[in-house]
């Protein structure tokens, strides 16, 4: 079955986010200083579930985060993905640029919300939070059931 342009963009976003997280991140869960960490993300009953293991192979407490506050942002992400695909098909560079600006703003908003909601559990920088927000959107796409 052929991949749709929208699916291609989501897959690309996933690969970039995972690659960038692997290369560079600031992620310290539960004040545990035994990184690097192995993190598994999954969606379960409209909740984001973090399963984290430190470098000593110790499993840290499971963290569950309600995704209700992200509903609008995730919906907007998919609107942007579709708009981007349409702009590329139409060959409109100025529209593509405007969509990219909106996309960056959306990712910044999602990252800020993640940092705020996880501040007492996970210390992370803005770049790491942006990449995690991307992965939340990817999980919502149905293109992945869990990410490791």
Domain presence at residue 51 = no
pTM: 0.88
Q: Which of 10, 3, 1, 24 is nearest to 147 (CA)?
A: 10
Domain presence at residue 55 = no
Q: What are the DSSP calls for 51-99, one per residue?
A: EEE-TTSPBPPPEEEE-GGGHHHHHHHHHHHHHHHHHHHHT-HHHHHHH
Predicted local distance difference test score (pLDDT) of residue 71: 93
Domain presence at residue 45 = no
Predicted local distance difference test score (pLDDT) of residue 148: 57
Provide CB contacts within 8 A for 127, sequence distance 6+.
20, 24, 25, 26
CA 107/CA 114 separation, integer angstroms:
10
Domain presence at residue 115 = yes
Q: Which domain holds residue 140?
A: 5-29+68-147
Under 8 Å between Cβ of 12 and 134: no
The H-or-E segment that residue 104 falls in is helix 93-117
DSSP 8-class letter at 14: H
Domain presence at residue 90 = yes
Predicted local distance difference test score (pLDDT) of residue 8: 78
Overall number of domains in the chain: 1
Domain presence at residue 17 = yes
Per-position pLDDT tens, the chain of length 148: 345 666 777 888 899 999 999 999 999 999 999 999 999 999 998 899 999 999 999 999 999 999 999 999 999 999 998 998 888 889 889 999 999 999 999 999 999 999 999 999 999 999 999 999 999 999 988 755 555 5
The DSSP bridge pattern shows strands 47-53 and 38-44 to be antiparallel
Domain presence at residue 48 = no
Predicted local distance difference test score (pLDDT) of residue 73: 95
Domain presence at residue 53 = no
């Amino acid at each position: 079955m052929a991949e749709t342009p929208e699916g291609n963009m989501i897959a690309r976003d996933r690969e970039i986010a995972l690659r960038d997280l692997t290369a560079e991140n600031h992620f310290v869960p539960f004040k545990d200083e035994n990184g690097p960490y192995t993190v598994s993300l999954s969606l379960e009953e409209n909740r984001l579930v973090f399963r984290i293991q430190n470098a000593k192979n110790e499993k840290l407490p499971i963290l569950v985060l309600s995704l209700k506050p992200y509903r609008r942002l995730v919906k907007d992400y998919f609107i942007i993905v579709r708009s981007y695909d349409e702009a590329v098909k139409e060959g409109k560079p100025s529209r593509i640029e405007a969509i990219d600006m909106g996309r960056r703003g959306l990712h910044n908003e999602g990252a800020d919300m993640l940092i705020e909601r996880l501040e007492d559990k996970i210390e992370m920088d803005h770049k790491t939070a942006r990449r995690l927000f991307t992965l939340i959107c990817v999980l919502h796409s149905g293109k992945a059931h869990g990410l490791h």
